[in-house]
Amino acid sequence: MRRYFGTDGVRGVVNTDPMTAEFALKLGRAAGYVLTKHLSHKPHVLIGKDTRLSGYMIESALCAGLTAQGMNVLLVGPVPTPAVAYLTRSLRADAGVVLSASHNPAGDNGIKFFGADGYKLADEVEFAIEAALDDLPPLPPALDIGKAERVEDARGRYIEFLKSTLPRDVRFESMKVVVDSANGAAYQVAPRLLEELGCEVISLFDKPTGYNINQACGSTYPETMCKKVVEVGADIGFALDGDADRLIACDAKGTIVDGDKVIAILAEHLLQQGKLQGSAVVTTLMSNMGLARFLKQRGIDMLRADVGDRYVLEMMRKHGCNLGGEQSGHMILLEHNTTGDGLMTALQLLCAMQETAKPLSDLASDMNLFPQKLWNIVMEKRLDMLSRPDVQKLIQAAELELGDTGRVNVRASGTEPKLRVMVEAESEALMLKTGEQMVAALEAIIQKIG
């Protein structure tokens, strides 16, 4: 059983176990040792972060643990999560670390590791790190500790990398773009990248204070972005999350284009270019049945992974796919980067619009979504609800009622004490009825357990 690592690293409320300075120092020692113990050279570990106030504290403590254990540390400051994946490879680091809680509030933070190849750590490596926390390795002699230094041009390096994924002559001179950086890690990178590619940019939420990351902005609150697109007559809007590994778009009419529609657009674009690998795309259990129907009509298989980008990536690598993603806007373009990349996704959408000479609304209109809703049931503490026979009986009854015209997915959140209930059906009335009945029954069971 995992004790600290969830589906996306270690995460929690700051100054509450495990997200404390003391734990970060220990984790630095344990992770640094596990990730670099077989190396014959002095290890280098790269650390990036988003704009949370606690990033300074966690960064200092983690850096102390790594250097105490004998690793050199490269500090790149506030950069998107995908930038850390890229820079770890580019700077030939032996591991990379991101300090971020993604789309969560400013009071949360997280610690996420990448290997030297830019991929997130395998389960067995995370288990080894947890074991090392119980039995910390011996410290090296005084003069064998590591040193820390800052990499001053990290953001510029990442911008050049993003531009290098486009054909040399591609520019977006005629595009008017609204970008919401969520007061997060991309607050400098996002507007600068788009401006360098010729876009007229209206930049929102690009003044982080340490307290305002994801605060009524970004991919979980795209309403302001949508309103601004209509107000200024923009061609497209992009809303990133706090660490810029996911993106929600909207068209010129201010209509949201979610992750499922983005996958449909990018899959068709890659297919037409002869660049779609594996004859399939990887999505999750949450992806809409309308997407599956759209892809099937074009001869593309849709493979469903468990929720979480690490599981999407695992399935992509297993089946040789280069496109995968989540409904939440987390897209992996494996031809270019080893993790989800919101800005990479934005560039590919702009390319699809330019090469087809179609607005985003036309590109998105080819796929019809089934009515779908997600309910979040908050619990006082984590409960293993899915192993209960009465819960399984509820799920089976709902699936039987929906038959081939819909589906149900009930899962525990990987980061919070919540039970997530997703229902979709061809009929909105049937979807709502099924979902509301399930939620009421599940809440009754939770209350009974206490």
The DSSP secondary structure of 139-150, one letter per residue, reads: PPPGGG---EEE
Q: Find the DSSP H helices in 165-258.
A: 189-196, 223-232
Q: How far apart are CA 292 and CA 272, in angstroms?
A: 18
CA atoms within 13 A on the CB side of 159: 16
Whether the Cβ atoms of residue 228 and residue 170 lie closer than 8 Å to each other = no
In DSSP terms, 202 is beta-bridged to: 178
Could you tell me which of 174, 173, 224 has the C-alpha nearest to residue 203? 224
Helices 259-273/289-297 angle, 10° precision: 10
The gap between the terminal CA atoms of the chain, to the nearest Å, is 23
In DSSP terms, 110 is beta-bridged to: 11
Q: What are phi and psi of 376, to 5 degrees?
A: -110, 120
In one letter, which amino acid is 133? Answer: L
Q: How far apart are CA 279 and CA 270, in angstroms?
A: 10
In this structure, the chain runs to a length of 450
Residues 6 or more apart in contact with residue 116 via CB below 8 angstroms: 88, 89, 92, 93, 94, 95
Q: Find the DSSP H helices in 279-388.
A: 289-297, 309-319, 342-356, 360-364
Could you tell me which of 220, 214, 158 has the C-alpha nearest to residue 183? 214
Pick the catalytic residue: 54, 100, 102, 328?
A: 102
Residue 40 known to be catalytic? no
Q: What strand order describes the sheet that includes 44-49?
A: 5-6, 9-13, 108-115, 95-99, 44-49, 72-78, 148-150
- Written in H, E and C, the secondary structure of 354-396 is HHHCCCHHHHHCCCCCCCEEEEEEECCCCCCHHHCHHHHHHHH
Element housing 78 (H / E): strand 72-78
Q: How far apart are CA 351 and CA 236, in angstroms?
A: 12
Catalytic site positions: 102
